[in-house]
C-alpha cells in the first residue's frame, strides 16, 4: 500500500519556496539600486540626462592647457572660435544633442553637477547650482596641427603618453562643427562616428606585431623561409608586393613579408594565435572609466589559410585605431599598457573634485619580448618599410600596415602606421590610419613622423 501524498504539507513547502523567491526579488532590487543605482544613472547612455540638460548651469570644457573648448555664455553653448580647432576636437568635446560620444555626453554628470548630489539627481539640476568644469588631457593646438596635416578623406590619428595613458590628441575625420551640429544629419561619411574609438578596421600588417609576439613567446623564432612573392596556404593564395627572398623573423618584420608571417601564423596554430590575441585584448570588452572604446575582434576558423590571413591582419581581424596605438604603447612601455584616459580633472568653482591617477590596464607581453619587438620596430623605421617616419629630433619605432578592403567591388587599401618615440623624455605612442590612402609607407608613416616631431617640439 503506497502512502498517499500529503498535499497540504507539499503546498506548505512550495509556499516557503515562493516566499523565498519573492523576498529575494525585493532584496535584489533594493540591493542593486542602492549599490549600482548611481553608477547606472550617470552612464552616458541614460537619455534622461541629455533630456534634462540645463545649458544655463553647464560647466566649461577645457583642454590640458586651460583653453576653453566649450562654455556657456548668456544661456548658449559656445565653442572654440577657430573652426579648425572646433572641428579638430569635435569628437572629443562632443555636442549637446547626444549625436556624438564626446565630453559633453560622457562627462555630463560632472558638467551638470549630477555627481555632486545623486540622491536628488534632478532637483540639483533644477536648483540652478553650477556644474563642474572639466579639464581634458588633449592639447587643442596639437589637435589642430594634426587636423590640418591629415588628408581630406576619412581617417584617424591618436597620440598618447605611453607612461601615463593621457590622450594628447585624438582626431577623427570627417568631423562636424558643434555650432551647427543641431541640424546636421548623418551622411554617408558618418561624421559623428569617432573613428579613433569606434572605427573598426582590418589591422593589416600592423598585426605582425602580435604574430611576432606569439612566435617569440612560444619559442618559434628560427623559422626561415624563401619568399617568392606568392604562396598557397591550405588552398588560399597569399602574396607579397615584392620577392623578399630568404627571410628570417627579423628581416620578415622589417620588410613586412606577408608570406613569412602567414606561414608563421599557420605554424603557431589556432590556439596560440587566439591566446596571444586575447592577451592583446582582442575580443575583450573594454570598460575604461572615462572613455568608451569599441571591442576589437580576432577569430579563427580551423582553416590554416584563414589563420595565415588572420596572422597578417586580414581575414576577420578588426581593430580600432586607439587599440592599435595601445599595442604600440605596450611595446614601448615594456609590455605594460596604461589605461587610456581623456579626463584630466574636474573642478567645482576652482576646487578639484576628481583627478585622474594613471593606472595600468594590462600587460600584453613579457618585458623581454617587448624589448625584442622594440628592436624590430626600430629597424623597420631605420631601414625597413617605415623609413618615411624617421625624424630629426628623436628615435621613432614603428610598423606600417596596408589593409585591404573592398568597396564598390574595387580593392582598396587603408594606410596604417603604429609606433612610438623611444625616449623617456618624450613618451609618445601614435596610431595613424588613412582610409583608402594606399600603402602605410606612403601616407601614414610620414604623417606620424611629422606629428611626433611637432609634438616633441611642443615639449611633449
Partner 1 sequence: MIIKRFGAGIVLAFMILFLLSGMLLLSFAGGAFNMEAALLGVIFAVFLIVQYNVLKSIFKHLERFALLIADFLCVISIVILYRIDPETAQKQLIWILIGNVCMIVAMLVIKRTHDFGKANWFFMILAVGMLGMTLLFASRIGGAKNWINIGPFSFQPSEFAKILFLIVTAYFLSSRERKRDMWPYFLFTIACVGLLVLSRDLGAALLFAGTFLIVFYVGTGSVGITLGATAAFAGGALLSYKMFDHVRTRVEVWQDPWATYNDKGYQIVQGLLAIASGGLLGTGLGLGMPEVIPVGTSDYIFAAIAEEFGIIVAIGIIALYLVFIIRGILIAMDARTKFDKLLVFGATAMLSLQSFIIIGGVIKLIPLTGITMPFVSSGGSSMLSAMMQLGIIEGVALKNGEYEEAELEEMGGGVA
Q: Catalog residues that contact partner 1 under the rule CB under 8 A.
A: 2, 5-12, 14-15, 18-19, 21-26, 28-30, 32-33, 36-41, 43, 45-48, 51, 119, 121-122, 285, 287, 295
CB of 120 to partner 1, least distance (A): 8
Kindly report the length of the chain. 460
Q: Closer CB to partner 1, residue 46 or residue 129?
A: 46
Cell digits of residue 293: 572604446
Q: How far is the CB of 39 from partner 1 (least distance, A)?
A: 8
User: Measured from the CB atom, is 37 or 366 closer to partner 1?
Assistant: 37
Nearer to partner 1, 196 or 397 (CB): 196
Calpha distance 257→289 (Å, rounded):
38
Nearer to partner 1, 25 or 458 (CB): 25
Measured from the CB atom, is 26 or 350 closer to partner 1?
26
Distance of closest approach, residue 38 Cβ to partner 1, in angstroms: 7
Residue where the block lists cell 549637446: 96
**Do 157 and 331 touch, CB atoms closer than 8 A?**
no
Contact between residue 161 and residue 426 where contact means Cβ atoms under 8 Å apart: no
| Of residues 298, 305, 327, the one with CA closest to residue 213 | 327
| Nearest to partner 1 of 25, 232 (CB atom) | 25
Residue 197 CB, shortest distance to partner 1, in Å, is: 14
Gap between the Cα atoms of 427 and 338, Å rounded:
12
| Residue 186 in grid coordinates | 548623418
Minimum Å gap between C-beta 23 and partner 1 is 8
Yes or no: say if 398 and 206 are a contact pair by the CB < 8 Å rule.
no
In contact, 306 and 236? CB cutoff 8 Å: yes
Query: What is the gyration radius of the CA atoms in the chain, in angstroms?
Result: 26
Interatomic CA distance for residues 134 and 181, integer angstroms: 21
Q: How far is the CB of 73 from partner 1 (least distance, A)?
A: 29
Shortest distance in whole angstroms from residue 30 CB to partner 1: 6
Q: Which is nearer to partner 1, 7 or 152 (CB)?
A: 7
Least CB distance from residue 8 to partner 1, whole Å? Answer: 5
Cβ-proximal residues to 326 (8 Å cutoff; 6+ apart), any chain: 160, 281, 337, 340, 361, 429
Nearest residue (CB) to partner 1, 122 versus 316: 122
- Residue 69's nearest CA partner among 55, 80, 83 is 80
- Residue 12 or 234 with smaller CB distance to partner 1: 12
Beta carbon of residue 42, minimum distance to partner 1 (angstroms, whole number): 9
Residue that has been written with the C-alpha cell 579639464 in this structure:
135
Q: Where are the beta strands (DSSP E) in 84-191?
A: 133-136, 155-161, 167-173
SS3 303: coil
Dihedral class, residue 441 (left if φ above 0, else alpha if ψ from -120 to 50, else beta): alpha
Torsion, Cα 53 40 166 347, to 10 degrees, reads: 50
What does the DSSP assignment read for 38-99? HHHHTSTT-HHHHHT--GGG---EE-TT--EEEEEETTEEEE-SSHHHHHHTHHHH--TTSS
Residue 60 or 194 with smaller CB distance to partner 1: 194
Residues paired with residue 170 on neighbouring β-strands, in sequence order:
158
Beta carbon of residue 108, minimum distance to partner 1 (angstroms, whole number): 13
Return d(Cα 283, Cα 224) in angstroms, integer: 31
Amino acid at each position: 500500500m503506497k502512502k498517499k501524498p500529503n498535499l497540504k504539507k507539499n503546498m506548505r513547502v512550495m509556499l516557503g519556496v515562493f516566499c523565498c523567491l519573492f523576498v529575494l526579488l525585493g532584496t535584489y532590487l533594493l540591493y542593486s539600486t542602492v549599490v549600482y543605482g548611481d553608477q547606472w544613472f550617470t552612464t552616458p547612455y541614460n537619455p534622461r540626462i541629455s533630456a534634462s540638460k540645463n545649458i544655463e548651469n553647464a560647466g566649461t570644457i577645457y583642454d590640458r592647457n586651460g583653453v576653453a573648448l566649450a562654455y556657456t555664455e548668456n544661456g548658449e553653448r559656445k565653442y572654440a572660435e577657430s573652426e579648425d580647432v572646433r572641428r579638430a576636437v569635435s569628437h572629443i568635446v562632443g555636442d549637446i544633442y547626444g549625436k556624438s560620444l564626446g565630453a559633453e555626453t560622457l562627462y555630463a554628470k560632472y558638467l551638470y553637477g549630477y555627481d555632486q548630489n545623486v540622491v536628488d539627481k534632478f532637483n540639483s539640476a533644477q536648483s540652478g547650482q553650477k556644474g563642474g568644469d572639466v579639464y581634458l588631457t588633449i592639447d587643442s593646438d596639437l589637435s589642430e596641427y594634426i587636423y590640418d596635416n591629415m588628408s581630406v578623406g576619412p581617417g584617424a590619428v591618436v597620440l598618447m603618453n605611453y607612461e601615463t595613458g593621457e590622450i594628447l590628441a585624438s582626431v577623427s575625420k570627417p568631423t562636424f562643427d558643434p555650432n551647427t551640429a543641431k541640424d546636421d544629419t548623418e551622411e554617408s561619411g558618418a561624421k559623428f562616428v569617432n573613428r579613433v574609438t569606434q572605427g573598426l578596421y582590418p589591422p593589416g600588417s600592423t598585426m605582425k606585431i602580435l604574430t611576432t609576439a606569439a612566435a617569440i613567446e612560444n619559442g618559434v623564432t628560427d623559422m626561415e623561409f624563401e619568399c617568392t612573392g606568392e604562396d598557397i596556404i591550405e588552398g588560399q593564395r597569399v602574396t607579397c608586393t615584392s620577392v623578399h627572398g630568404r627571410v628570417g623573423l627579423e628581416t620578415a618584420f622589417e620588410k613586412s613579408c606577408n608570406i613569412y608571417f602567414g606561414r608563421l601564423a599557420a605554424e603557431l596554430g589556432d590556439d596560440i594565435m587566439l591566446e596571444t590575441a586575447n592577451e592583446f585584448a582582442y575580443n575583450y570588452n573594454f570598460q575604461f572609466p572615462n572613455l568608451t572604446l569599441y571591442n576589437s575582434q580576432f577569430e579563427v576558423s580551423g582553416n590554416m589559410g584563414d589563420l595565415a590571413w588572420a596572422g597578417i591582419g586580414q581575414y576577420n581581424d578588426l581593430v580600432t585605431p586607439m587599440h592599435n596605438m595601445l599595442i604600440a604603447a605596450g611595446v614601448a612601455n615594456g609590455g605594460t599598457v596604461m589605461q587610456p584616459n581623456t579626463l584630466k580633472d574636474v573642478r567645482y568653482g576652482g576646487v578639484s573634485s576628481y583627478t585622474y591617477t594613471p593606472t595600468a590596464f594590462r600587460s600584453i607581453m613579457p618585458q623581454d619580448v617587448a624589448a625584442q619587438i622594440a628592436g624590430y620596430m626600430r629597424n623597420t623605421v631605420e631601414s625597413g618599410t617605415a623609413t618615411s617616419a624617421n625624424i630629426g629630433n628623436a628615435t621613432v619605432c614603428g610598423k606600417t600596415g596596408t589593409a585591404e578592403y573592398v568597396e564598390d567591388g574595387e580593392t582598396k587599401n587603408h594606410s596604417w602606421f603604429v609606433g612610438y618615440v623611444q625616449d623617456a623624455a618624450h613618451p609618445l605612442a601614435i596610431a595613424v590610419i588613412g582610409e583608402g590612402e594606399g600603402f602605410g609607407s606612403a601616407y601614414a608613416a610620414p604623417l606620424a613622423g611629422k606629428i611626433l616631431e611637432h609634438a616633441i617640439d611642443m615639449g611633449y
